[in-house]
């Protein structure tokens, strides 16, 4: 294992990999501090260009580097203009913005960078520590267990990624159906292609991702018409922010651990990691009366958790091939395209690549923090860019990204179809992440089910691992539904 770790480090420290990582960190940071552009949208735009690259380590350096740092830079708009730069920095606003209002923006920013750094280092360390535990577990699984596991991952994302478990499950099923479109090579059946050769090769995940995330986010940004009413100076206290993190190290470590746990559970994602850590800080810290009024601990807790969460989400992605969230789902697609096979291989024959990912996560976080600290003033100015300079540029990239998927005229038509679907889902509170995950997992799920059926008949249902996983699946699906109904009934009874 030490050999693989060193090999992974060596591959990451080449000039080419470091250049790709720097590019990833730059793009990830840019996405973070420009409010309104999500990480998944940018990843989807990047996919068609990354998938033609030959070097898997370069792909890891670029995409993992980009994904790892988005939450670090997203503290800028959260603290300076009270607009979350990413889904994972919403809780930062509660205390970061009041700090900026009273002239302590620099202190809040430096505290958030330091907390992000600690979270970004603890995350990969835990990922590293989990490898010896995961290895025997993953290697004992067969196709029936993997089928139930993919089903469980999809169900978890469906149920947990919104307050609408039924809609989430339905979105996941729609995603699996989309994955089946095209010519089935084994049976020769044309599935849902309506005799159209364009659809024989299936629907590109890039177009689905750009349609359901990219265009609706642009619509939202355009409708919001971000206008900055108040500008706050950075003020002083940059060093104090760093000292604050040192003085609250236990809180930082605890929040990082929460982030890893949230990232590990497929479906929860960074949009809740920050809130969980913030709630934990309020519950456990002394002198809680200042929370919400500009307490630096209210910045430290969410920022540590949203960075460590990224490493946590790689645990199920690498070990079982089940992405922890939207970003890892897209990265998984790029990995598969360049010959990286998440699953048992990542813990055996491709262990060096797993280590390359761990090293990238850690190094990219360090790079991002230095970048943010060194260029705080110019980056802060970018937060005030008006929406009309961002929306058309993003839309151009979305259209070009979709066209680059197959270089076909129909790509754009399909983009419009999925944009409409994404827009309607967003408008009516349907979680979109399960749909994307359904598209990613659909093919695997079908293969595992078919292998289980042909190898074991109906007997695969009696395997102890399968029974245990089915019990866990049912519990994870039924409990949130029961809880949602209970809360609904409580609200109804409480209504005047």
270-299 binders of another protein (CB under 8 A): 271-272
Return the number of the residue (63 or 218) whose C-beta is nearest another protein.
Answer: 218
Q: To the nearest whole angstrom, how small is the minimum distance from the Cβ of residue 367 to another protein?
A: 24
Residues counted in the chain: 496
94 is a site residue for another protein (CB under 8 A):
no
CA distance readout (Å), 311 to 259, 360, 394: 9, 10, 28
198 is a site residue for another protein (CB under 8 A):
no
Which one among 15, 287, 492, 493 touches another protein, defined by CB under 8 A?
A: 492
| CA 319 from centroid of its chain's CA atoms | 17
Q: To the nearest whole angstrom, how small is the minimum distance from the Cβ of residue 336 to another protein?
A: 19
**Cα separation of 110 and 25, whole Å?**
18
CA distance readout (Å), 387 to 44, 46, 226, 390: 21, 22, 6, 5
Choose one: 2-10, 159-167, 241-249, 463-471; the region binding another protein (CB under 8 A).
159-167
Which one among 30, 280, 337, 426 touches another protein, defined by CB under 8 A?
A: 426
92, exposed or middle or buried, with CB in 10 Å at 0-12, 13-18, 19+? Answer: buried
47 is a site residue for another protein (CB under 8 A):
no
489 is a site residue for another protein (CB under 8 A):
no
The DSSP letter of residue 164 is -
Residue whose C-alpha is closest to residue 425's, from 199, 212, 181: 212
Return the number of the residue (118 or 160) whose C-beta is nearest another protein.
Answer: 160
Return the number of the residue (113 or 397) whose C-beta is nearest another protein.
Answer: 397
395 is a site residue for another protein (CB under 8 A):
yes
Which one among 44, 58, 99, 218 touches another protein, defined by CB under 8 A?
A: 218
2 is a site residue for another protein (CB under 8 A):
no
Return the number of the residue (18 or 416) whose C-beta is nearest another protein.
Answer: 416
Which one among 173, 279, 373, 382 touches another protein, defined by CB under 8 A?
A: 173
Choose one: 3-11, 115-123, 181-189, 367-375; the region binding another protein (CB under 8 A).
181-189
**Cα separation of 439 and 121, whole Å?**
32
162 is a site residue for another protein (CB under 8 A):
yes
Residue whose pair of structure tokens reads 């509660």 in the numeric block: 94
Structure tokens, 102: 């009273």
State the Rg of the chain over Cα: 22
Which one among 137, 140, 192, 250 touches another protein, defined by CB under 8 A?
A: 192
Nearest 5 degrees, angle CA 48-CA 28-CA 323?
65
Which one among 184, 201, 233, 459 touches another protein, defined by CB under 8 A?
A: 184
Return the number of the residue (84 or 119) whose C-beta is nearest another protein.
Answer: 84
Structure tokens, 311: 């490493």
End-to-end CA distance of the chain: 63
324 is a site residue for another protein (CB under 8 A):
no
Q: Do residues 114 and 104 make contact, with C-beta atoms less than 8 angstroms apart? A: no
392 is a site residue for another protein (CB under 8 A):
yes
Q: To the nearest whole angstrom, how small is the minimum distance from the Cβ of residue 399 to another protein?
A: 7
385 is a site residue for another protein (CB under 8 A):
no
**Cα separation of 235 and 80, whole Å?**
11
133 is a site residue for another protein (CB under 8 A):
no
Q: To the nearest whole angstrom, how small is the minimum distance from the Cβ of residue 135 to another protein?
A: 29
161 is a site residue for another protein (CB under 8 A):
yes
Choose one: 310-318, 350-358, 421-429, 455-463; the region binding another protein (CB under 8 A).
421-429
Choose one: 101-109, 314-322, 351-359, 419-427; the region binding another protein (CB under 8 A).
419-427
Counting Cα atoms < 13 Å in the Cβ hemisphere of 493 gives: 6
Q: What is the largest CA-CA distance in the chain?
A: 69
Residue whose C-alpha is closest to residue 422's, from 261, 230, 214, 245: 214
261 is a site residue for another protein (CB under 8 A):
no
How many other C-beta atoms are found inside a 10 Å radius of the C-beta of residue 431?
25
Residue whose C-alpha is closest to residue 92's, from 115, 71, 107, 75: 75
264 is a site residue for another protein (CB under 8 A):
no
Return the number of the residue (153 or 162) whose C-beta is nearest another protein.
Answer: 162
């Amino acid at each position: 294992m030490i050999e693989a770790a060193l090999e992974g480090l060596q591959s990451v420290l080449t000039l080419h990999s470091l250049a790709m990582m720097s590019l990833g960190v730059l793009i990830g940071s840019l996405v973070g501090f420009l409010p309104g552009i999500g990480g998944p949208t940018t990843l989807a735009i990047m996919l068609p260009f990354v998938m033609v690259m030959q070097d898997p380590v370069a792909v890891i350096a670029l995409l993992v580097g980009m994904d790892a740092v988005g939450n670090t830079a997203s503290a800028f708009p959260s603290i300076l203009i009270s607009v979350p730069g990413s889904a994972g920095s919403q809780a930062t606003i509660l205390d970061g913005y009041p700090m900026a209002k009273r002239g302590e923006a620099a202190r809040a920013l430096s505290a958030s960078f330091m907390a992000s750094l600690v979270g970004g280092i603890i995350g990969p360390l835990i990922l590293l520590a989990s490898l010896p535990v995961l290895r025997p577990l993953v290697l004992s699984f067969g196709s029936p267990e993997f089928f139930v596991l993919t089903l469980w991952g999809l169900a978890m994302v469906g149920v947990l990624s919104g307050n609408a478990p039924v809609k989430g499950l339905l979105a996941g099923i729609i995603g699996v159906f989309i994955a089946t479109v095209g010519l089935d090579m084994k049976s020769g059946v044309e599935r849902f292609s309506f005799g159209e050769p364009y659809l024989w090769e299936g629907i590109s995940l890039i177009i689905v991702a750009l349609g359901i995330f990219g265009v609706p986010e642009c619509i939202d940004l355009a409708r919001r018409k971000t206008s900055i009413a108040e500008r706050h100076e950075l003020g002083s206290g940059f060093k104090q922010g760093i000292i604050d993190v040192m003085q609250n190290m236990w809180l930082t470590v605890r929040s990082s651990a929460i982030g890893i746990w949230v990232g590990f559970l497929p479906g929860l994602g960074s949009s809740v990691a920050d809130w969980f850590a913030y709630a934990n800080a309020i519950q456990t810290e002394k002198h809680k009366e200042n929370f919400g009024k500009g307490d630096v601990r209210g910045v430290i807790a969410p920022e540590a958790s949203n960075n460590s969460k990224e490493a946590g989400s790689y645990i199920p992605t690498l070990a079982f091939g089940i992405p922890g969230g939207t970003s890892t789902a897209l990265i998984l697609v790029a990995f598969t395209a360049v010959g990286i096979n998440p699953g048992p291989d990542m813990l055996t024959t491709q262990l060096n690549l797993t280590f390359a990912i761990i090293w990238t996560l850690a190094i990219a976080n360090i790079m991002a923090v230095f970048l943010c600290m060194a260029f705080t003033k110019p980056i802060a100015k970018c937060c005030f860019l008006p929406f009309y300079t961002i929306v058309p540029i993003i839309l151009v990239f979305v259209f070009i990204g979709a066209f680059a998927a197959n270089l076909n005229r129909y790509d754009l038509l399909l983009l419009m179809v999925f944009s409409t679907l994404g827009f309607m889902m967003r408008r009516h509170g349907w979680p979109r992440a399960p749909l994307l995950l359904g598209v990613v997992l659909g093919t695997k799920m079908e293969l595992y089910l078919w292998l289980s059926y042909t190898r074991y008949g109906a007997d695969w249902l009696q395997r102890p691992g399968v029974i245990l996983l089915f019990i866990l699946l049912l519990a994870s699906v039924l409990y949130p539904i029961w809880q949602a109904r209970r809360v609904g009934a409580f609200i109804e009874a409480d209504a005047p």
